[in-house]
């Protein structure tokens, strides 16, 4: 185990096998990067941090899609829009 920054620790896969409990406790204080042959292959982090990251990514995705929709709406002339009934008929929904 090597701490490269105050909050980042590198751990080899073989070390993970033998010191799993210690590494799980360490994960609460710092980012744990798992290495295979001195190359990073995975990151261990608490589930709460993972959930925060997922929520942030979802929010960013929603923001980007919302902005794209607004841009397309502004760029599309009203006469290009189809009534809902016509769309349903074309898609054979009703």
The DSSP string of 7-67 is TEEEEEHHHHHHSHHHHHHHHTTSEEEEEETTEEEEEE--HHHHHHHHHHHHHHHHHHHHH
Can you give the residue range of the structural domain that contains 6? Answer: 2-45
Q: Among 52-56, 69-73, 90-94, name the one with the lowest average pLDDT.
A: 90-94
Whether residue 73 sits in one domain with residue 40 = no
Average pLDDT, the chain: 90
Does 94 map to a domain? no
Whether residue 20 sits in one domain with residue 41 = yes
Range among 17-26, 35-44, 46-55, 59-68 with highest mean pLDDT value: 59-68
> Whole-structure pTM over 0.75, yes or no?
no
Domain harbouring 17, CATH code: 3.40.1620
């Amino acid at each position: 185990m090597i701490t490269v920054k105050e909050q980042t620790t590198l751990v080899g896969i073989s070390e993970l096998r033998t010191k799993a409990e210690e590494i799980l406790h360490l994960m609460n204080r710092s980012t744990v990067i798992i290495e295979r042959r001195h190359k990073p292959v995975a990151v261990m982090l608490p589930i709460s941090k993972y959930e925060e990251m997922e929520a942030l990514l979802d929010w960013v995705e929603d923001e980007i899609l919302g902005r794209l929709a607004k841009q397309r709406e502004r760029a599309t002339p009203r006469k290009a829009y189809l009534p809902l009934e016509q769309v349903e008929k074309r898609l054979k929904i009703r």
